[in-house]
Amino acid sequence: QVQLVESGGGVVQPGRSLRLSCAASGFAFSDYAIYWVRQAPGKGLEWVAVISYHGYNNNYAASVKGRFTISRDNFRDTVYLQMSSLRAEDTAVYYCARDRCSGGSCQLNSFDIWGQGTMVTVSS
């Protein structure tokens, strides 16, 4: 079964760090770019970051650039989101999602598989 499963969320104080994981199964993980998207309580969707299929390219939303780092381990079929200097406005459900296109010829795409999300609460 093709799926993504996030983990690592929780309650953290402002200024602290947290690492989220996104574990993939059921597909050729190393062929796909992976995205992180977040949703604050009662709000809409906000794209956070992306990492290319091989892990050499990434991109970030301005709101997290310099604080969040995306990485991947293609042997463990897992993507990570290292979040530091967390702020109250980072409170959200964090989803990982798969690019709809596979392989090196793909450009930016829609997201065809989503995980169930993991909640991050930044509060003192």
- 36 near another protein, judged by CB under 8 A: no
- 5 near another protein, judged by CB under 8 A: no
The answer for residues whose C-beta is within 8 angstroms of residue 106's C-beta and 6 or more apart is 33, 53, 99
* DSSP single-letter state for residue 96: E
Q: Which residue has the tokens 């983990």?
A: 7
Site string for another protein, 48-87 (x = CB under 8 A): --x--------x-xx-------------------------
The span from the CA of 36 to the CA of 98, in Å, is: 9
Among 20, 90, 111, 122, binds another protein (CB under 8 A): 111
- 100 near another protein, judged by CB under 8 A: yes
